[in-house]
């Protein structure tokens, strides 16, 4: 009788352990750390950087060396114009790459991730954030308490990616780009934007 109870306890403990392991695997998805997803989308080519020459993310001032054409004081650029850029730093996971906000010739705006390299993870989103980037572990959570705009899930953890920014998003409200894991409320990496 006692042997039967001991066996039953062992079976219940083993079943409970299996349930805990299954739930852990479903929630944490640890295999993603070993799987890379590479995305190589076509990035807009910016002829000359306008970083530092624009008074706001929505306007660009003409370059001091630009020559007016047809008697007009300035002309609209023929190609994409860079509005802001930044370099990704590591937070919870080692992260590198460059982020840019670019206005296309038709006026649409995009956020680009260039040469991105980070860990894969569950539910990682690209955020435009009102928070300043803080280095080290102190910066892992700052974006979570700040206003943000979410262009969507990260398309991959490596390569080049482009995300549309709708016309009604006020870029002057956002100081940084954050790769934010929604499931665990932590930053994988972030970049302070320079105008």
Within the chain, strands assigned E span 38-40, 81-87, 89-90, 96-103, 109-117, 124-129, 148-153, 158-165, 176-181, 186-192
HSE of 110, CA atoms in CB hemisphere, 13 A = 18
The pLDDT, as a whole number, for residue 57 is: 43
User: Which ranges of the chain have pLDDT less than 70?
Assistant: 14-34, 47-77
The pLDDT, as a whole number, for residue 71 is: 44
Q: Phi/psi of residue 115, each to 5°? A: 55, 40
Sign of the four-CA dihedral 172, 174, 176, 177? negative
The pLDDT, as a whole number, for residue 13 is: 73
The pLDDT, as a whole number, for residue 52 is: 46
Closest CA to 29 of 161, 95, 124: 124
Within 11-55, strands assigned E span 38-40
Place of tokens 């940084």: 176
CA 32 to chain centre: 17
The pLDDT, as a whole number, for residue 62 is: 35
* Bridging pattern class, strands 176-181 and 124-129: antiparallel
Q: Which two tokens stand for residue 10?
A: 């062992």
Contact criterion met (CB below 8 Å) for 178 and 187: yes
The pLDDT, as a whole number, for residue 68 is: 41
Contact criterion met (CB below 8 Å) for 166 and 158: no
The pLDDT, as a whole number, for residue 153 is: 96
The pLDDT, as a whole number, for residue 76 is: 59
Contact criterion met (CB below 8 Å) for 57 and 195: yes
The pLDDT, as a whole number, for residue 21 is: 55
Helices (H) and strands (E) in the chain, counts: 1, 10
The pLDDT, as a whole number, for residue 122 is: 86
- pLDDT single digits (tens) 17-73: 665 555 555 555 555 556 899 999 999 998 654 444 443 444 333 333 334 444 444
What's the whole-model pTM score? Answer: 0.72
Helices (H), 34-124: none
The pLDDT, as a whole number, for residue 180 is: 97
């Amino acid at each position: 009788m006692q042997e039967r109870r001991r066996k039953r306890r062992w079976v219940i403990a083993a079943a409970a352990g299996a349930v805990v392991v299954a739930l852990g695997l479903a929630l944490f998805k640890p295999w993603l750390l070993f799987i890379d997803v590479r995305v190589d989308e076509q990035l807009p080519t910016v002829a000359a950087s306008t970083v530092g020459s624009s008074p706001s993310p929505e306007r660009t001032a003409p370059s001091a060396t630009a020559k007016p054409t047809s008697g007009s004081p300035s002309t609209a650029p023929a190609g994409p114009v860079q509005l802001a850029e930044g370099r990704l730093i590591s937070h919870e996971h080692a992260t590198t790459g460059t982020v840019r906000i670019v206005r296309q010739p038709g006026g649409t705006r995009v956020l680009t991730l260039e040469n991105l390299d980070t860990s894969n993870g569950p539910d990682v989103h690209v955020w435009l954030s009102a928070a300043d980037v803080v280095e080290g572990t102190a910066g892992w959570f700052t974006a979570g308490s700040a206003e943000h705009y979410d262009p969507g899930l990260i398309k991959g953890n490596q390569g080049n990616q482009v995300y549309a920014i709708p016309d009604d998003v006020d870029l002057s409200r956002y100081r940084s780009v954050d790769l934010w894991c929604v499931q665990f409320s932590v930053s994988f990496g972030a970049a302070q934007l320079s105008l």
